[in-house]
Amino acid sequence: MSRFLRTVLALAWKDILLELRSRDMVVSVLLFGFLVILVFNFALKPTPRQVPQLAPAILWVSFVFAGTLMVERAFVREREQGGLEGLLLTPVSRDAIFLGKAFTSFLFMLMVEGVLLALLALLLNFSPFSVILLATLFLATLGFATVGTLFSAMAVQTRAREVMLPVLFFPIILPVLVGAVEVTSRALAGEGAAAAGRWLPLIGVFDALFLVICPWAFGAVMEE
Amino acid sequence: MSEHTSDAAIWVKGLSKSFGHGPVLRGLDLVVTWGESLAMFGANGAGKTTLLRILATQARPDAGTVMVAGCQLSRQAAAARGRVGVVAHGGLLYDDLTCLENLVFYGRLYGLPDVHTRGLAVLERLALKDQAGRRVRTLSHGQQKRLAIARAILHNPRLLLLDEAESGLDSESLAVLRTVVAEWTTPERAVMMTTHNRELGHAWATRTVELSGGRLQPAARPALDTAR
Amino acid sequence: MGYLRQQGLGQGLVALGGLLMLVNLYLVFLVAPTDAVLGDVQRVFYFHVPLAVLSFLAFFFVFIASLGFLARRTPAWDHLAHAAGEVGVVLVTLALLTGVIWARPVWGVWWTWEPRLTTTLILWLIYVAYLMVRAYAPNPARGAVYAAVVGVVGFVDVPIVYYSVQWWRSIHPSPVVGPLAEAGALEPVMLAILLFSLLTFLVLFLHLLLLRASLHRVEAWVKEQDPRGSPAPFPAN
């Protein structure tokens, strides 16, 4: 395994270990996501006929909000404990630090999304078992984690950090959101592989582009 | 670059830095040779921490050349980081990991072999061996600061940068810090420390400077200096 | 470029721009034929299109200048990017407003999720965020770096946003189909006036851009002065 990859994994493992010890990210974000779902259910009162239309929307809105909270917490904690500064003092490349952080956010987000999907499927009585749906979860979350990690690193150093992150994040990931909702609704309607349409490739392009750009930009954001 | 400049622990020429509200460092020059320990005084906001952060590659200069441990920062920043140990204001440690876990983690990032053994050895050096398995969150302030020093010397850097490392330390920890500084004032190594405590600075360091007006001047010795 | 030369150029642009705009207004309101279907409201089109096109040009400038700044870190790139961002936000705001002014009498609605209007709205959001991040950064030097990152990331995202909104709208068409999307039904006279309007706004754009950029340069120079010492001479070149 190359040195770079080992470093990224060491960084990710550190975050996972910290999370296992303090449990302050996954559980709280999961709870928040569930509350968002509840709020939507009460506000929209979906009838069984409306479920195919509304379920994807509720799902992805709660994912976006939960995801935003997740990346924000990832950096707030680092900053509080001075961990990020310590990392920057080591010879480790900024790319590796970025990828380590983005990878852990990605993993944690997937876990939260998995649970929220199961809960919503229970509440609204639909079957979440679709390969395309899972592929969408994977690709869209990758995009959220990549862009979210970069903007969170930036926002955490600004004055209005809770506002700054959504203001930066939401407009940029809108295409991913739109695409994810479309594919999800088609997948839930049972369209199989055709549900992917042009959307999954678009999200794939988004991910590929930002996986290249964001690590580079992270270096500029980190130094004073 | 002549042999002379690449031989210095720190070689800075014409360093300028501004954050957009007026220059903090203005064309600053500094040479620290191997074997020196330098104490830097200066008022709050004079730019001591800024200078230190630039030397630690945390901040980027607006103008000037900076060479640290023979590496030119604009090109070889990562190599420089491997040769420098920093004790800064923040803890730089993870509260929910144990002392040893913190050191093992950083040791891996520095690419050190036998991280466990080294971690334990450094903890012993800093009188923290009994705390090896305790989480940082549970340590006293003095112990946390000693762990920060342990982290800084873990990879055996040639140059040590200390930003007010002595502040808030109890007498036991202060004594340990003094031995570390003395250990780094050997021909192959160097130390640069910023401090508000002029007495301490003059006692511990081989040379003292004052940062004011964005530049360095030699520091005045304190009036009651009868021991020399 | 040198400050004095910039002044001269600026004044030249003001004169030219003013003249062009007078001619443009005359052409748009008195010469252009009234649209058979839409009536006089259609004249908004001669403003809406140049505003939208030039806002896009402005954001392209932001992209290039942001890349330049991140690569070279010279303040000039930052001043240019900042100016382009400000002018771009003004232009895109006006583009949105003229879009709304069109929509109400023509379609009976204030807003429609038509692809171009929607993309314009998202552009507006991205570049407002660009300006916000400068304002909320811990210091101006950091603000310049953060903004440059947003300038690059935002622009790269624009084509993706455009396509996704297009495809989304084709699946969920809005109740009205917009003549904004059509380029076909233009008489030669209308096209000529549209191009002239585009030229007029281009001159206006360049003037505002240079003005804001030089203002940022002066502001930066002022902030850099030591309040206790004597001021350094303003760089003549």
Can you spell out the DSSP letters for B175-195? Answer: HHHHHHHHHTSSTT-EEEEE-
Chain B interface with A: residues with Cβ < 8 Å? 19, 53, 56-60, 78-79, 81-82, 84, 86, 88, 90-97, 101, 105-106, 108-111, 135, 151
Q: Do C133 and A160 touch (CB under 8 A)?
A: no
Chain C residues whose beta carbon lies within 8 Å of the beta carbon of residue A168:
129, 133, 150
pLDDT for position C177: 44
Which of A16, A81, A97, A222 to mutate to probe the B interface, most B CBs <10 Å? Answer: A81
By CB atoms closer than 10 A (0-12, 13-18, 19+), residue A224 is middle
List CB contacts (< 8 A) between A87 and chain B: 109
Pairwise CB contact (< 8 Å): C146 & A213: no
What distance in Å separates residue A53's CA from the closest CA in chain B? 44
Q: What sign has the CA pseudo-torsion A164, A167, A170, A175? A: negative
Summary mean pLDDT of chain C: 86
Tell me whether residues A154 and C161 touch, CB distance under 8 A. Answer: no
Q: What pLDDT is recorded for position B213?
A: 86
Low-confidence ranges of chain B (pLDDT < 70): 1-6, 222-228
Nearest CA in chain A to C146: A221
Chain B CB contacts of C226 under 8 Å are: 22-23
Comparing C-alpha atoms, which of C167, C42, C172 is closest to residue C107?
C42
Q: B78 and A93: CB-CB below 8 Å? A: yes
Question: Does A175 sit within 8 Å of C153, measured CB to CB?
Answer: no
Nearest-CA distance C167 → chain A (Å): 9
pLDDT given for residue B34 in this prediction: 93
Check CB contact under 8 Å for C226 and B23.
yes
Q: According to the model, what pLDDT value does residue C174 have? A: 58
Q: Which residues of chain A have a CB within 8 Å of the CB of B94?
A: 14, 18, 81, 83
Check whether C183 has a pLDDT greater than 50.
Answer: no
Interface of A with B in 51-90 (CB under 8 A): 81-83, 85-90
In this structure, what DSSP letter does residue C114 have? -
Q: Rounded to a whole number, what is the distance in Å from the CA of A2 to chain C's nearest CA?
A: 29
Largest separation between any pair of C-alpha atoms in chain A: 57
ipTM: 0.92
Three-class SS state of C178: coil
* Contact between residue B102 and residue B93 where contact means Cβ atoms under 8 Å apart: yes
Query: What is the SS3 assignment for chain A?
Result: CCHHHHHHHHHHHHHHHHHHHHCCCHHHHHHHHHHHHHHHHHHHCCCCCCHHHHHHHHHHHHHHHHHHHHHHHHHHHHHHHCHHHHHHHCCCCHHHHHHHHHHHHHHHHHHHHHHHHHHHHHHHCCCCCCHHHHHHHHHHHHHHHHHHHHHHHHHCCCCCHHHHHHHHHHHHHHHHHHHHHHHHHHHHCCCHHHHHCCHHHHHHHHHHHHHHHHHHHHHHHHCC
Q: What residues of chain B lie within 8 A of the CB of A224, using their CB?
A: 19, 53, 58-60
C-alpha A180/C-alpha A177 separation (Å) is: 5
Q: What are the chain C neighbours of B60 within 8 Å (beta carbons)?
A: 73
Q: Which amino acid is it at A72?
A: E
pLDDT at C73: 92
Nearest chain A residue (CA) to C165: A175
pLDDT the model gives residue A51: 87
Burial class (CB in 10 A: 0-12, 13-18, 19+), A125: exposed
CA distance A27 to chain C (A): 30
Closest C-alpha among B151, B137, B142 to residue B92: B151
Q: In chain C, helix, strand, coil percent, each to 5?
A: 80, 0, 20
| C73, C144, C223 ranked by CB distance to B21: nearest | C223
Nearest to A209 among C128, C156, C161 (CB): C156
Confidence of residue C185 (pLDDT cuts 50, 70, 90): low
User: Looking at the complex, does the CB of residue B21 fall below 8 Å from at least one CB of chain C?
Assistant: yes
Instruction: Judge: A217–C163 Cβ closer than 8 Å, yes or no.
Output: no
- Identify the pLDDT of residue C145: 96
C115 chain-A contacts, CB cut-off 8 A: none
8 Å CB contact of A178 and C171: no
Are residues C225 and C232 in contact, defined by beta-carbon separation less than 8 angstroms? Answer: yes
What is the predicted pLDDT for the residue at A58?
A: 95
Residue of C136, C148, C153 with shortest CB distance to A213: C153
By Cβ distance, the residue of B60, B84, B135 closest to A223 is B60
| Structure tokens, B128 | 């923290």
The H or E element that residue B215 is part of is strand B215-218
Tell me if residue B3 falls in helix, strand or coil.
Answer: helix
* Nearest-neighbour CA in chain A from B101: distance (Å): 9
Q: Which helix (H) or strand (E) holds B31?
A: strand B23-32
> CB neighbours of C233 closer than 8 A, spacing ≥ 6?
none
Q: Determine which of A79, A174, A181, A206 to mutate to test the interface with C (most C C-beta atoms within 10 Å).
A: A174
- Closest residue of A to B62, CA-based? A224
Kindly report the nearest CA distance between residue B168 and chain A, in angstroms.
Answer: 18
Cα(A70)–Cα(A67) distance, integer angstroms: 5
Q: Which residues of A touch B105 (CB under 8 A)?
A: 10, 14
Instruction: Answer yes or no: is pLDDT of C176 > 70.
Output: no
Measure the CA dihedral A137/A139/A141/A144, to 10°.
-150
Which residue type does C186 have? Answer: L
Chain A CB contacts of B19 under 8 Å are 224
Rounded to the nearest angstrom, the minimum Cα separation between C139 and chain B is 6
- From chain C, pick out residues whose CB is under 8 angstroms from the CB of B19: 139-142
> Which residues in chain B are closer than 8 Å to C222, comparing Cβ atoms?
none
Q: Given the DSSP bridges, would you call strands B10-18 and B63-68 parallel, antiparallel or unpaired?
A: antiparallel
**pLDDT at C2 (0 to 100):** 61
Contacts of C among chains (3+ CB pairs under 8 A): A, B
Question: Does residue C90 register a pLDDT over 90?
Answer: yes
Name the residue facing A178 among C136, C153, C168 (closest C-beta).
Answer: C168
* A48 in contact with C, Cβ within 8 Å: no
Query: Can you give the pLDDT of all 224 residues of chain A as single tens digits?
Result: 688 998 999 999 999 998 998 888 899 999 999 999 999 999 998 888 888 889 999 999 999 999 999 999 988 877 776 788 889 999 999 999 999 999 999 999 999 999 999 999 999 988 888 899 999 999 999 999 999 999 999 999 898 888 999 999 999 999 999 999 999 999 888 887 787 888 999 999 999 999 999 999 999 999 88
